[in-house]
Each structure stands twice: as C-alpha cells, then as structure tokens.
Amino acid sequence: MKRTSTTMADGRELIYFDEHDDAVRAMVDSRELPPPPPPAQLRFDPLTEDWVAVAAHRQTRTFLPPTAECPLCPTKGAFLTEVPADDYDVVVFENRFPSFSGDAGRCEVVVFSPQHDASFKELPVSRVRTVLGAMADRTAELSAQPGVEQVFCFENRGVEIGVTLHHPHGQIYAYPYVTPVTRRYLEAARKFRDEHGGNLYGDLLARERADGSRIVASNERWTAFVPYAARWPYEIHLAPHRQVPDLAALTEAELDACAPLWSEITRRLDGLFDLAMPYIAGWHQAPVHTDRDLGYLHLRLISSRRAPGKLKYLAGSESAMGAWVNDVAPEQAAAALRAVSL
C-alpha cells in the first residue's frame, strides 16, 4: 500500500492510500475555499460527567446532495470536489465540518471507493483490506498527536441512521477525552480483572466461541458473533482471537484475515431482508494513554431495522433512561444471519 500526503486548498491534510506502488498523486486542489471553521466548544455536564462538543458550524454542512454534486466523488473537469484526483483507491482527509479540531481533537473522512453508487458490502476484499490499513495508519498517527485520548473509526450507513452523504465512506474521530461508552466498559473490565483475573472481553469472546449458538462466522484469527445481551435487533461483534488495544497493534496476517469477515458480515446483514440495512459499524479501541491493558479491539456493527418496513426507535426507555429492550432474541438473530445465502 502506497501512502501519499498532500494539502488541500484551505490547508487541510489529504492522504491517498493506493493499492499499487506506481500510483502518482500530483494533483493540486485549485478550489477557492474559506478558512476552516473555529474549533468547537467543549462543555462539561456535571450531572453525567460527560463532555459535549458544541459545533454550530456543522449546521451548514452538505446535506444529501444530488450525485452530480457529491463532494466525495473524484474531480472531473470543471467539477471540483474534496478529492482533486480523477481516480483513487482509498482517500482520507480532514473533515471540512469537524466536530473536533485544533487542540481539541480531529475529525477525518475515509472514502472507500471512487464509485458513488457503491456500498461497503460490494467492495472487493482487497479494498476492504486497504480500508483497514488506512484506519490502522490513522489510528497510529492520530494517537501520537498531543491532546488525543481516544481514536474511533466508524461507518454510518443509511438515512435512517442520519447519513448526509450517500457516497461510501466512513469517519475517524480523535477525541480529546475518553468517551462515556469506553469509560463504562473499562470500569467493568477493571472490576472483572480484580475479581477474576484476565480480560473481560477476552473471557466473553471465549464463552461465545465455546457456546457457538450466537456465532455468525469465523476463521483462524477472528470470530463474528451476536452478543448474549445484544441491545439492537441485529448486532454483530467482530473480534480478533488475540487481545490487542487497537487497529495499529494488529499484525499484517491479522489484518488480512479480518478483511473477508468484515465484508461477509455486511453482506449477511443485507441478505436478511434482501434490502440495504441501515447500520453503524464502529471499531472500539482502547484509550491512547490509559487502561490499554484492559481494552480489547473489536468491531460493533448495529442495525436499527428489526423487520422489513420496521425500525427500532430509541424512544422513552432507551433514550431517556438508557434501559434497553430488544425485540429480537440474539440466538434468533444469529441463526438468521448464518442462514443468509451469500
């Protein structure tokens, strides 16, 4: 994989990740752009001890543009986009409308393909492997930046989730704090270690592999499963058999083995009802500076669709009180996912 870094018209960084070493990236961003917006305000909520980013400039971000105006497509002639090249494999650049920036973190966009109408499940496994390599690269580099406490790589898919651009892409958030979900997980992991020894997620994974009823797919290095206490109608975890803190810690062999399974579970998800499922696929990584020995890298892929034409809405119980109710038994979900013909 060849890595080429360049600068956009407004000073933001853009990085090409090419699958061929002879790729040439000498294109210049010739747009006239305003300067990047000021950093978001970080405000602390003493009731929950959570940080909230106030980023009012995001109100003006691009919202579901027509294909002919997509900012993630390659630049063609007079149509100038965020990517000055007329073709690419995978490209990463600083978000023009970031939730975090400057000394308070960083937000990046990861574009999976130059094909506007493609989807992640349609990418060849070799391209999924390139996406993984790019995310591992960015995790390592962002983790080394001052002030960054956690790196989160994720993909939102579907208007039901809130996607504002249809072009296949993901995002990377470099948070200036450890997120609430990770804090809760680390507290549970620390308690488990103190009481039982070992790693909490590693123990959970071992139990799922031994039980087998919720396994969706596996190979010699990774296992995909529906967790015993899944909150969403269709929720899949993808975890390596070796405990590592983040994507940057994976070996080349582990990255190679991950790509086909990541591709497979997205295809199985879409095969459930023979339609495009809305989902969030997020890589849960250990914090940069603390409790890395408690973390265990894994992907969580969650879908809000519980049946054709029916979505799970986070109404009173879930949104207001954080008390979850799942309409689909995890064993039923796993069996349905396994039964999908690929």
Angle 200-211/180-196 helices, nearest 10 degrees?
Answer: 80
| 71/114 Cα distance (integer angstroms) | 11
Tokens 């023009």 map to which residue? 96
Asked whether residue 70 is marked as a ligand-binding residue, the answer is yes
* Cα 262–Cα 266–Cα 272 angle in degrees, nearest 5: 145
Query: Is 258 a known ligand-binding residue?
Result: no
* Spatial CB neighbours of 279, under 8 Å, sequence gap ≥ 6: 155, 157, 158, 161, 266, 269, 301, 302, 303, 304
Q: Pick the catalytic residue from 169, 237, 284, 298.
A: 169
Residue 169 is a catalytic residue = yes
Q: Which of 155, 65, 168 is nearest to 115 (CA)?
A: 168
Q: Compute the distance between CA of residue 115 and CA of residue 124 in angstroms, rounded to an integer.
A: 13
Q: Please give the Cα distance from 228 to 231 (Å, whole number).
A: 9
**Rounded-to-integer distance, Cα 115 and Cα 73, Å:** 7
Q: 298: annotated binding-site residue?
A: no
According to the annotation, is 167 in a ligand binding site? yes
* C-alpha torsion angle, residues 242, 341, 310, 165 (rounded to 10): 70
Residues belonging to the binding site are 70, 73, 116, 167
Catalytic residue annotation: 169
Residues belonging to the binding site for Zn(2+) are 70, 73, 116, 167
